[in-house]
A = this chain, B = another copy of it.
Amino acid sequence: MQNRQVVVENLPTGKLHCNNFKIKMGLIPKLSSGQVLVRTTAFAITAGARAGLQGSASYAGAAESDVVMRGTGIGEVVESTNTQFPVGSMVLGPTGWQEYAALNSRSLTFIPERYDPLKFIGPLGINGLAAYFGLFRTGRPVIGETVMVSAAAGSVGHFAGQMAKIIGCKVVGVTGDDKKAERLRNELGFDASVNYKSENFRNDLKLATPDGIDVYFDNTGGDILGSALFRLNVGGRIACCGVVSQYDTSSPDSGPRGIPGLLVNKRITMQGFLVFDYADEYQTARDEINKWIDSGQLIGWTDEVFGLDSAPEAFVNLLAGGNVGSRVVRLD
Protein backbone atom coordinates (compact mmCIF):
# COMPACT_ATOMS: atom_id res chain seq x y z
CA MET A 1 0.00 0.00 0.00
CA GLN A 2 1.16 3.45 -0.90
CA ASN A 3 0.79 6.91 0.63
CA ARG A 4 0.20 9.68 -1.88
CA GLN A 5 1.60 13.00 -0.69
CA VAL A 6 1.95 16.60 -1.81
CA VAL A 7 5.54 17.63 -1.11
CA VAL A 8 7.25 21.00 -1.33
CA GLU A 9 9.66 20.61 -4.23
CA ASN A 10 11.09 24.10 -4.04
CA LEU A 11 10.32 27.27 -2.16
CA PRO A 12 8.52 30.04 -4.07
CA THR A 13 10.71 32.99 -5.00
CA GLY A 14 7.88 35.36 -5.89
CA LYS A 15 4.28 34.30 -6.07
CA LEU A 16 3.46 30.69 -5.28
CA HIS A 17 3.01 28.37 -8.28
CA CYS A 18 1.64 24.86 -8.55
CA ASN A 19 5.07 23.70 -9.67
CA ASN A 20 6.48 24.55 -6.24
CA PHE A 21 4.81 21.26 -5.30
CA LYS A 22 4.85 17.74 -6.62
CA ILE A 23 2.92 14.57 -5.94
CA LYS A 24 5.01 11.80 -4.48
CA MET A 25 4.32 8.19 -3.68
CA GLY A 26 5.50 7.66 -0.13
CA LEU A 27 5.25 4.73 2.21
CA ILE A 28 2.66 4.28 4.89
CA PRO A 29 4.67 5.05 8.03
CA LYS A 30 5.31 2.57 10.82
CA LEU A 31 4.04 3.63 14.22
CA SER A 32 6.22 4.40 17.22
CA SER A 33 4.86 3.91 20.71
CA GLY A 34 1.95 6.27 21.46
CA GLN A 35 1.41 7.06 17.81
CA VAL A 36 -1.74 6.70 15.78
CA LEU A 37 -2.05 6.06 12.05
CA VAL A 38 -4.62 8.36 10.50
CA ARG A 39 -6.15 7.98 7.05
CA THR A 40 -6.86 11.56 5.99
CA THR A 41 -10.42 12.19 4.83
CA ALA A 42 -10.09 15.97 4.34
CA PHE A 43 -7.68 18.78 5.07
CA ALA A 44 -7.97 22.57 5.20
CA ILE A 45 -6.08 24.99 3.00
CA THR A 46 -5.31 28.23 4.81
CA ALA A 47 -3.59 31.40 3.67
CA GLY A 48 -1.37 31.40 6.74
CA ALA A 49 0.40 28.29 5.42
CA ARG A 50 1.95 30.52 2.75
CA ALA A 51 3.92 32.28 5.50
CA GLY A 52 5.49 28.93 6.33
CA LEU A 53 7.02 28.82 2.85
CA GLN A 54 9.05 32.02 3.30
CA GLY A 55 12.40 30.29 3.36
CA SER A 56 11.82 29.08 6.89
CA ALA A 57 14.10 26.47 8.36
CA SER A 58 11.34 23.90 8.32
CA TYR A 59 11.01 23.81 4.54
CA ALA A 60 14.41 25.21 3.58
CA GLY A 61 15.80 21.82 2.65
CA ALA A 62 12.60 20.84 0.92
CA ALA A 63 14.13 20.24 -2.49
CA GLU A 64 16.36 17.57 -1.04
CA SER A 65 14.09 16.10 1.52
CA ASP A 66 10.67 16.37 -0.13
CA VAL A 67 8.96 17.57 3.02
CA VAL A 68 5.23 16.91 3.02
CA MET A 69 3.23 20.17 2.92
CA ARG A 70 1.93 20.83 6.38
CA GLY A 71 -1.71 21.36 7.15
CA THR A 72 -4.53 20.50 9.50
CA GLY A 73 -6.89 17.71 8.55
CA ILE A 74 -9.39 15.21 9.78
CA GLY A 75 -9.28 11.47 9.33
CA GLU A 76 -10.07 8.03 10.58
CA VAL A 77 -7.81 6.10 12.92
CA VAL A 78 -6.73 2.95 11.07
CA GLU A 79 -4.08 1.72 13.47
CA SER A 80 -3.46 2.74 17.05
CA THR A 81 -1.14 2.26 19.98
CA ASN A 82 -3.23 4.59 22.16
CA THR A 83 -6.52 3.54 23.74
CA GLN A 84 -7.87 7.11 23.66
CA PHE A 85 -7.96 6.91 19.88
CA PRO A 86 -9.33 3.46 18.96
CA VAL A 87 -9.38 2.21 15.39
CA GLY A 88 -12.43 3.63 13.63
CA SER A 89 -12.59 6.88 15.59
CA MET A 90 -12.39 10.25 13.87
CA VAL A 91 -9.68 12.74 14.80
CA LEU A 92 -8.44 16.24 14.00
CA GLY A 93 -4.69 16.73 13.68
CA PRO A 94 -1.66 17.90 11.71
CA THR A 95 -2.12 15.35 8.95
CA GLY A 96 -0.37 17.36 6.28
CA TRP A 97 -1.32 17.02 2.65
CA GLN A 98 -1.14 13.25 2.41
CA GLU A 99 -3.27 10.14 2.57
CA TYR A 100 -1.73 8.63 5.70
CA ALA A 101 0.02 10.19 8.67
CA ALA A 102 1.59 8.72 11.80
CA LEU A 103 0.76 11.25 14.49
CA ASN A 104 1.61 11.59 18.14
CA SER A 105 -1.51 11.26 20.19
CA ARG A 106 -0.98 14.57 21.98
CA SER A 107 -1.27 16.40 18.65
CA LEU A 108 -4.72 14.88 18.04
CA THR A 109 -8.23 15.92 19.01
CA PHE A 110 -10.86 13.19 19.30
CA ILE A 111 -14.03 14.09 17.37
CA PRO A 112 -17.11 12.80 19.23
CA GLU A 113 -19.65 10.99 17.08
CA ARG A 114 -22.30 13.66 17.58
CA TYR A 115 -20.32 16.09 15.40
CA ASP A 116 -19.95 16.21 11.64
CA PRO A 117 -16.15 15.78 11.40
CA LEU A 118 -15.94 18.31 8.56
CA LYS A 119 -16.96 21.03 11.02
CA PHE A 120 -13.59 20.47 12.73
CA ILE A 121 -11.86 22.03 9.74
CA GLY A 122 -14.54 24.73 9.55
CA PRO A 123 -16.41 26.49 12.36
CA LEU A 124 -15.16 24.14 15.09
CA GLY A 125 -11.62 24.05 13.74
CA ILE A 126 -8.78 26.54 13.63
CA ASN A 127 -10.76 28.93 11.43
CA GLY A 128 -13.73 29.22 13.75
CA LEU A 129 -11.54 29.26 16.85
CA ALA A 130 -9.29 31.99 15.43
CA ALA A 131 -12.37 34.10 14.75
CA TYR A 132 -13.68 33.41 18.26
CA PHE A 133 -10.53 34.13 20.28
CA GLY A 134 -9.31 36.91 18.03
CA LEU A 135 -12.60 38.71 18.20
CA PHE A 136 -13.56 38.19 21.81
CA ARG A 137 -10.15 38.20 23.49
CA THR A 138 -8.21 40.61 21.31
CA GLY A 139 -10.76 42.87 19.61
CA ARG A 140 -13.22 42.80 22.54
CA PRO A 141 -16.19 44.48 20.84
CA VAL A 142 -19.31 45.23 22.86
CA ILE A 143 -22.93 45.50 21.81
CA GLY A 144 -23.61 48.44 19.51
CA GLU A 145 -20.01 48.91 18.39
CA THR A 146 -18.95 48.79 14.75
CA VAL A 147 -16.68 45.91 13.74
CA MET A 148 -14.81 45.85 10.44
CA VAL A 149 -13.51 42.54 9.08
CA SER A 150 -11.13 42.16 6.12
CA ALA A 151 -10.98 39.05 3.94
CA ALA A 152 -14.54 38.96 5.24
CA ALA A 153 -15.69 36.11 3.00
CA GLY A 154 -12.59 34.10 3.85
CA SER A 155 -12.16 31.12 6.11
CA VAL A 156 -11.75 33.10 9.33
CA GLY A 157 -13.39 36.37 8.28
CA HIS A 158 -16.88 35.06 7.61
CA PHE A 159 -16.98 33.59 11.11
CA ALA A 160 -15.56 36.71 12.77
CA GLY A 161 -18.21 38.90 11.16
CA GLN A 162 -21.06 36.60 12.11
CA MET A 163 -19.83 36.29 15.70
CA ALA A 164 -19.75 40.08 15.98
CA LYS A 165 -23.34 40.17 14.72
CA ILE A 166 -24.36 37.53 17.28
CA ILE A 167 -23.25 39.76 20.16
CA GLY A 168 -25.06 42.80 18.71
CA CYS A 169 -22.44 44.70 16.77
CA LYS A 170 -22.75 46.48 13.45
CA VAL A 171 -20.51 44.62 11.00
CA VAL A 172 -18.79 45.85 7.87
CA GLY A 173 -17.01 43.32 5.69
CA VAL A 174 -14.22 44.08 3.23
CA THR A 175 -13.68 41.70 0.35
CA GLY A 176 -12.26 41.82 -3.18
CA ASP A 177 -15.31 40.75 -5.12
CA ASP A 178 -18.75 42.31 -5.56
CA LYS A 179 -20.51 38.97 -5.54
CA LYS A 180 -18.90 37.99 -2.25
CA ALA A 181 -19.78 41.41 -0.86
CA GLU A 182 -23.41 40.84 -1.76
CA ARG A 183 -23.46 37.37 -0.22
CA LEU A 184 -22.05 38.73 3.05
CA ARG A 185 -25.02 41.07 3.32
CA ASN A 186 -27.72 38.76 1.98
CA GLU A 187 -26.70 35.40 3.39
CA LEU A 188 -24.75 36.25 6.55
CA GLY A 189 -26.51 39.44 7.64
CA PHE A 190 -23.53 41.81 7.48
CA ASP A 191 -24.72 45.41 7.77
CA ALA A 192 -22.49 46.56 4.95
CA SER A 193 -19.72 45.26 2.72
CA VAL A 194 -17.13 47.02 0.62
CA ASN A 195 -14.93 45.90 -2.27
CA TYR A 196 -11.34 46.99 -1.64
CA LYS A 197 -10.55 46.73 -5.35
CA SER A 198 -12.94 49.60 -6.08
CA GLU A 199 -11.36 52.93 -7.01
CA ASN A 200 -13.58 54.54 -4.39
CA PHE A 201 -12.68 52.10 -1.65
CA ARG A 202 -11.70 54.70 0.95
CA ASN A 203 -14.87 56.67 0.36
CA ASP A 204 -17.02 53.53 0.24
CA LEU A 205 -15.55 52.47 3.57
CA LYS A 206 -16.30 55.90 5.00
CA LEU A 207 -19.92 55.71 3.87
CA ALA A 208 -20.23 52.18 5.25
CA THR A 209 -18.99 53.25 8.70
CA PRO A 210 -20.96 56.38 9.63
CA ASP A 211 -20.08 55.89 13.32
CA GLY A 212 -16.43 55.07 12.62
CA ILE A 213 -14.92 51.71 13.51
CA ASP A 214 -14.42 50.44 17.04
CA VAL A 215 -12.83 47.08 16.29
CA TYR A 216 -10.97 46.03 13.16
CA PHE A 217 -10.41 42.29 12.71
CA ASP A 218 -7.44 42.34 10.35
CA ASN A 219 -6.78 39.36 8.10
CA THR A 220 -4.86 41.30 5.45
CA GLY A 221 -2.58 44.06 6.69
CA GLY A 222 -1.40 46.38 3.91
CA ASP A 223 -3.57 49.09 2.37
CA ILE A 224 -6.77 47.83 3.93
CA LEU A 225 -5.18 48.18 7.37
CA GLY A 226 -4.04 51.67 6.36
CA SER A 227 -7.59 52.61 5.39
CA ALA A 228 -9.03 51.18 8.59
CA LEU A 229 -6.70 53.38 10.65
CA PHE A 230 -8.38 56.48 9.26
CA ARG A 231 -11.85 55.26 10.23
CA LEU A 232 -10.99 53.86 13.67
CA ASN A 233 -12.44 55.71 16.62
CA VAL A 234 -10.56 56.91 19.67
CA GLY A 235 -9.84 53.86 21.79
CA GLY A 236 -10.24 51.54 18.81
CA ARG A 237 -8.77 48.05 18.77
CA ILE A 238 -7.17 46.08 15.96
CA ALA A 239 -7.04 42.30 16.28
CA CYS A 240 -4.16 41.23 14.03
CA CYS A 241 -5.03 37.74 12.80
CA GLY A 242 -3.25 37.44 9.47
CA VAL A 243 -1.46 39.33 6.74
CA VAL A 244 -2.78 37.76 3.55
CA SER A 245 -1.85 40.84 1.49
CA GLN A 246 1.81 40.13 2.23
CA TYR A 247 2.10 36.34 2.22
CA ASP A 248 2.41 35.61 -1.47
CA THR A 249 5.58 37.55 -2.17
CA SER A 250 9.22 37.54 -1.20
CA SER A 251 9.33 41.33 -0.75
CA PRO A 252 6.54 42.42 1.58
CA ASP A 253 5.40 46.05 1.49
CA SER A 254 6.17 48.59 4.15
CA GLY A 255 3.60 49.05 6.88
CA PRO A 256 0.86 51.66 6.67
CA ARG A 257 1.88 55.30 6.92
CA GLY A 258 -0.27 56.02 9.97
CA ILE A 259 1.72 53.69 12.23
CA PRO A 260 2.49 54.67 14.90
CA GLY A 261 1.20 58.26 14.48
CA LEU A 262 -2.50 57.48 14.31
CA LEU A 263 -2.15 54.90 17.09
CA VAL A 264 -0.98 57.71 19.38
CA ASN A 265 -3.54 60.34 18.34
CA LYS A 266 -6.45 57.91 18.63
CA ARG A 267 -5.09 55.73 21.47
CA ILE A 268 -5.54 52.65 19.33
CA THR A 269 -4.47 49.22 20.51
CA MET A 270 -3.13 46.84 17.90
CA GLN A 271 -2.59 43.29 19.06
CA GLY A 272 -1.40 40.17 17.29
CA PHE A 273 -2.67 36.78 18.33
CA LEU A 274 -2.21 33.11 17.45
CA VAL A 275 -5.09 30.77 18.06
CA PHE A 276 -2.76 28.08 19.44
CA ASP A 277 -2.21 30.15 22.57
CA TYR A 278 -5.82 29.40 23.54
CA ALA A 279 -5.60 25.61 23.15
CA ASP A 280 -6.66 25.05 26.76
CA GLU A 281 -9.94 26.77 26.03
CA TYR A 282 -10.81 25.21 22.69
CA GLN A 283 -13.45 22.89 24.11
CA THR A 284 -15.37 25.68 25.81
CA ALA A 285 -15.30 27.73 22.64
CA ARG A 286 -16.39 24.75 20.51
CA ASP A 287 -19.39 24.17 22.75
CA GLU A 288 -20.46 27.76 22.31
CA ILE A 289 -19.82 27.84 18.56
CA ASN A 290 -21.73 24.59 18.15
CA LYS A 291 -24.77 26.08 19.86
CA TRP A 292 -24.71 28.95 17.36
CA ILE A 293 -24.53 26.45 14.51
CA ASP A 294 -27.43 24.41 15.90
CA SER A 295 -29.57 27.50 16.39
CA GLY A 296 -28.85 28.70 12.85
CA GLN A 297 -27.10 31.86 14.05
CA LEU A 298 -23.75 30.83 12.57
CA ILE A 299 -23.37 29.57 9.04
CA GLY A 300 -20.18 27.85 7.88
CA TRP A 301 -19.35 28.41 4.24
CA THR A 302 -17.35 25.47 2.94
CA ASP A 303 -15.54 25.60 -0.36
CA GLU A 304 -14.69 22.03 -1.27
CA VAL A 305 -12.27 20.64 -3.83
CA PHE A 306 -11.73 16.94 -4.41
CA GLY A 307 -8.60 14.85 -4.51
CA LEU A 308 -5.01 15.37 -3.44
CA ASP A 309 -3.93 16.47 -6.91
CA SER A 310 -6.18 19.52 -6.76
CA ALA A 311 -4.57 20.87 -3.57
CA PRO A 312 -1.70 22.94 -5.04
CA GLU A 313 -3.97 24.78 -7.46
CA ALA A 314 -6.57 25.28 -4.75
CA PHE A 315 -3.87 26.89 -2.60
CA VAL A 316 -2.59 29.20 -5.35
CA ASN A 317 -6.16 30.22 -6.12
CA LEU A 318 -6.95 30.84 -2.43
CA LEU A 319 -4.03 33.27 -2.17
CA ALA A 320 -5.59 35.17 -5.08
CA GLY A 321 -8.86 35.40 -3.16
CA GLY A 322 -10.66 32.63 -5.04
CA ASN A 323 -12.23 30.93 -2.04
CA VAL A 324 -15.49 31.57 -0.25
CA GLY A 325 -15.37 30.43 3.36
CA SER A 326 -13.24 27.50 4.52
CA ARG A 327 -11.43 25.81 1.66
CA VAL A 328 -11.28 22.07 2.18
CA VAL A 329 -9.67 19.31 0.13
CA ARG A 330 -11.65 16.09 0.44
CA LEU A 331 -9.96 12.75 -0.02
CA ASP A 332 -12.86 10.43 0.80
Please list the residues of chain A having a beta carbon within 8 angstroms of any beta carbon in chain B. Answer: 51, 218, 221, 225, 238, 240-243, 246, 252-274, 277
Contacts and interface: CB of A to CB of B under 8 A. Distances in A.
Contact of A259 (B255, B264, B268): B255
A272 B263 CA distance: 5
A260 B243 contact: yes
Centre residue among A218, A258, A260, A271 by max chain B CB count within 10 A: A260
A101 to B, nearest CB: 25
Copies in the complex: 2
A157 to B, nearest CB: 15
Nearest to A264: B272
Contacts of A266: 272
Given A267-B277, A269-B269, A257 B252 contact: yes
Contacts of A243: 260-261, 264
A57 to B, nearest CB: 14
Given A221-B259, A255-B256, A267-B271, 12 more contacts: A218-B260, A242-B264, A252-B257, A255-B260, A264-B272, A264-B273, A265-B272, A265-B274, A266-B272, A267-B273, A267-B277, A268-B271
A83 to B, nearest CB: 35
Contacts of A257: 252-255
A262 to B, nearest CB: 8
Nearest to A277: B267
A149 B221 CA distance: 26
